[in-house]
């Protein structure tokens, strides 16, 4: 049977050892689940990029992906789907997707742009002033209302976002992934982002760096927790020794 090395942070490795976790069985189950998830994701990517994909399949893709979306991405997509009067628009372009992302100034996509020196306010103004005119008639019969309303550039951006999720090994779909998708695909959003110097490779690096930072902070938190527990244990043991000595006098 082939062997795969798995590297863990020190704190997690100690916890796994102390808990006597069956590492091989757990890893096999997790990897099998990941393979199945990535397989579904890749099929969805292919279907989104095919203009002839039936409405029913678009619906199933939408239902599956929505379960993995972060609340902020869901909120951004709701904004993207509204017209100037606040009603559901007939079509949703890549430009609408960008406007939806920029509507929330606190999501990770906006913070990534800010960290790369992009004037987000100017970008939002440019996106708002641009016309929405992209190819691809919306599929009004789609059981997934949102995917069915996407223009082809919008669908290609979503496909590229899912591709980014798979490449980074993430189990969720967030605003940052859609931003990469908009930059990596063709459409009005890509053109505006390119004018502001936004590059997909730099965005991916920013996402990876942020993920590494989160893992490091979690590891440090675990180390601090272990140190606190050890200190409390020593104090309790000292109290017990004093009590035992007092009772023996």
- The CATH number linked to 48 is 1.10.1780.10
The predicted pLDDT at position 239 comes to 59
d(CA 171, CA 86): 32
Q: List pLDDT tens digits, range 99-112.
A: 999 998 889 999 99
Torsion of the alpha carbons at 108, 109, 115 and 118, rounded to the nearest 10: -150
In a domain, 170, yes or no: yes
In a domain, 130, yes or no: yes
Range of the structural domain that residue 135 is part of:
19-223
Q: List pLDDT tens digits, range 135-187.
A: 775 555 554 567 888 899 999 999 999 999 999 888 899 999 999 999 999 89
The predicted pLDDT at position 249 comes to 47
The predicted pLDDT at position 223 comes to 47
In a domain, 59, yes or no: yes
Domain count, the chain: 1
pTM (two decimals):
0.75
């Amino acid at each position: 049977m082939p062997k795969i090395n798995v590297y863990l942070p020190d704190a997690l490795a100690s916890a796994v050892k102390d808990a006597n976790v069956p590492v091989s069985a757990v890893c096999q189950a997790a990897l099998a689940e990941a393979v199945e998830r990535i397989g579904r994701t890749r099929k969805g990517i292919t279907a989104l990029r095919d203009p002839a994909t039936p409405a029913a399949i678009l619906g199933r893709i939408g239902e599956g992906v929505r379960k993995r979306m972060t609340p902020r991405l869901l909120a951004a997509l709701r904004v993207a789907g509204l017209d100037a009067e606040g009603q559901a628009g007939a079509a949703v372009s890549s430009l609408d997707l960008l406007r939806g992302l920029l509507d929330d100034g606190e999501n990770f996509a906006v913070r990534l742009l800010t960290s790369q020196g992009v004037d987000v306010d100017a970008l939002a103004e440019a996106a708002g002033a641009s016309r929405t005119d992209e190819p691809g008639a919306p599929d009004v019969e789609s059981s997934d209302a949102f995917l069915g309303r996407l223009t082809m550039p919008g669908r290609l951006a979503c496909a590229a976002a899912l591709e980014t999720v798979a490449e980074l090994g993430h189990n969720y779909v967030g605003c940052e992934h859609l931003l990469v998708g908009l930059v990596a695909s063709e459409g009005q959003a890509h053109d505006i982002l390119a004018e502001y110097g936004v590059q997909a490779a730099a965005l991916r690096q920013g996402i990876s760096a942020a993920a590494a930072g989160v893992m490091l902070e979690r590891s440090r938190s675990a180390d601090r927790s272990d140190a606190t527990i050890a200190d409390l244990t020593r104090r309790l043991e000292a109290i017990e020794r004093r009590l035992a000595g007092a009772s023996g006098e």
